[in-house]
């Protein structure tokens, strides 16, 4: 059961990382980005927090599954 959760968690993390847009897009980002030094939008902040929580959970599951065998 834990291995299934671990696999699903890894697939969600891979999807989140691939769907994220890059933060730095070269010189074009200076002309198109109005909030250059400000905080990210609430949706981007939510995705950042979600990614961090999922990564920590992934590593905790990996450690637990490594020592349970």
Is the residue at 55 inside a domain? yes
Is the residue at 37 inside a domain? no
Average pLDDT, consecutive stretches of 10 residues, N- to C-terminus, the chain (69 residues): 88 86 57 52 83 92 85
Is the residue at 20 inside a domain? no
Q: Which among 21, 19, 18 has a CA at the least distance from the CA of 32?
A: 21
Run of H or E including 2:
helix 2-19
Is the residue at 58 inside a domain? yes
Q: How many domains does the chain have?
A: 1
DSSP per residue, 7-54: HHHHHHHHHHHHHSPPS--TTHHHHH-S-SSSPPPHHHHHHHHHHHHH
55: domain range?
A: 43-69
Is the residue at 67 inside a domain? yes
Give CA–CA dist 54/35, Å, rounded: 27
Is the residue at 47 inside a domain? yes
pLDDT for the residue 1: 82
Chain centroid to Cα 42, Å, comes to 15
């Amino acid at each position: 059961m834990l291995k299934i959760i671990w696999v699903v968690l890894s697939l969600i993390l891979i999807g989140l990382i691939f769907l994220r847009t890059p933060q730095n897009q070269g010189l074009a980002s200076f002309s198109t980005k109005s909030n250059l030094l400000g905080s990210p939008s609430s949706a981007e902040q939510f995705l950042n927090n979600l990614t961090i929580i999922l990564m920590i959970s992934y590593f905790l599951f990996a450690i637990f599954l490594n020592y349970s065998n």
